Amino acid sequence: MRVRNWQRGSGKDAEGSADQVRIRPPVEESTGTALTEQPVLSARRWVLTMLALAGVSLLVMAASLRFGAEDIGFVDSARILFQALRGGDVRTDSLGSSSVILLQVRLPRVLLGFMVGGSLAGVGVGLQALLRNPLADPYVLGISSGAALGAAVAILFGIGTTGVAIHALPLCAFAGGLMAIVLVYRIAATYGRLPIHTLLLAGVILNAILSALIMFITSIMDPNRSFSVMFWLMGTLAAPDYPAMAVLLLYLVVGGSILLWQTPSLNLLTLGEESASSLGVEVETVKRTVFFTSALLTGAAVSMSGMIGFVGMVIPHAVRMVVGADHRLLLPASALVGGTFLVAADTVARTVLAPAEIPVGIVTALGGGPLFIYLLVYRKSGLAV
């Protein structure tokens, strides 16, 4: 099928197949930044890019297993993992204590960090495409705060200490995140339109209100539980367990598949809602789908790791500058880079002051904030491409 695609900012129309349309990256409309045309995405380019990113991810994950309060060499780590995969009893060998640390502490953290980082980066890609603004992410729009509020309320009523917590906490966090994004949408929507600046401002204000409610809930909790909740809210990947991660993986597979299914529509939405609608995109349906999926993935991630900022904002922005703005590649590439970034950040968080541990949310803010400023300033000055 052939479609006619009008490039925004040019007076000419470009004709091509639906799978070979050239996509321009989303920009903040107030800046009027000129857009550069991206190369056509081919199957070979997609495969090579994903293989390269997957290889880097595996290397970072393998390296993160080595570092910690107790040093475990690469050879020992490989032997422990190989024996575990074969079903052998790694606790009876000469590396018994190392095997416990690797399999019950570090490996779950690495897997959890990769899934949470991938989820947040994927959500950031979807929201930035939908709103055509690189500042959109689950943290800025208040989705993370809403999800944290839902989880905090569940913990307040004792759900977090029961056997159903594995399933109930993600659902409560999802409900809170969905409530937050619906409120932001309702506040910002004006006569069927969704002004970007109003949406971001509504997200910031709602974020402040929800954060105040979270602090109120923690203030009336038992002091011991309150401290653990506050540490969790700063972002932490400590003490995950495999059953809970299996539930998170289920949410990630479902939500990620929905977002991937929407990538052709997200590509056309970068041309504007009117142009996308004229090309057959059901804009409102896509909006609801992306918003719903964003709340689902963010709620699941927050229920496991607390509030971790900047991953959903910085990673898609940086990856877009390298691989282009075609969401069929941008979305899975950002998920891989986001997962790798959070694994590396968690490795820093648990090693830089070992045996003490820094909340990983602090590390992502300290690392992601300056990086985003760098990208923003140099792109504005025309020094970045």
Report the SS3 class of residue 193. strand
- Residue 200 banded pLDDT, cuts 50, 70, 90: confident
> Quick one: tokens of 269?
């939405």
pLDDT digits (tens, 9 = 90+) for 202-257: 888 998 899 899 989 888 888 777 877 887 788 888 767 788 888 889 989 999 99
CATH class of 107-380: mainly alpha
Domain range list for the chain: 107-380
> Quick one: tokens of 174?
């999802």
User: CA-to-CA distance for 105 and 60, rounded, in angstroms?
Assistant: 17
The residue written with tokens 């009876």 in the block is: 92
Greater pLDDT, 347 or 227:
347
Res. 34: pLDDT tops 60: no
Neighbouring CB atoms inside 10 A of 42's CB total 12
Give the mean pLDDT of the chain: 79
Question: Could you say which DSSP state residue 13 is in?
Answer: E
DSSP letters for 219-271:
HTS-HHHHHHHHHHHT----S--HHHHHHHHHHHHHHHHHHHHTHHHHHHHTT
> So what's the pLDDT on residue 19?
45
DSSP letters for 303-348:
HHH----SHHHHHHHHHHHHH-S-HHHHHHHHHHHHHHHHHHHHHH
Res. 33: pLDDT tops 60: no
- Residue 161 banded pLDDT, cuts 50, 70, 90: low
Out of 3-7, 264-268, 315-319, least confident range:
3-7
Res. 124: pLDDT tops 90: yes
CB 49 within 8 A of CB 329: yes
CB environment 144-182: b (16+ within 10 A), e (fewer):
bbbbbbbbbbbbeeebbeeeebbebbbbbbbbbbbbbbe
Neighbouring CB atoms inside 10 A of 195's CB total 13
Res. 16: pLDDT tops 70: no
> So what's the pLDDT on residue 125?
94
> So what's the pLDDT on residue 246?
86
Res. 5: pLDDT tops 50: no
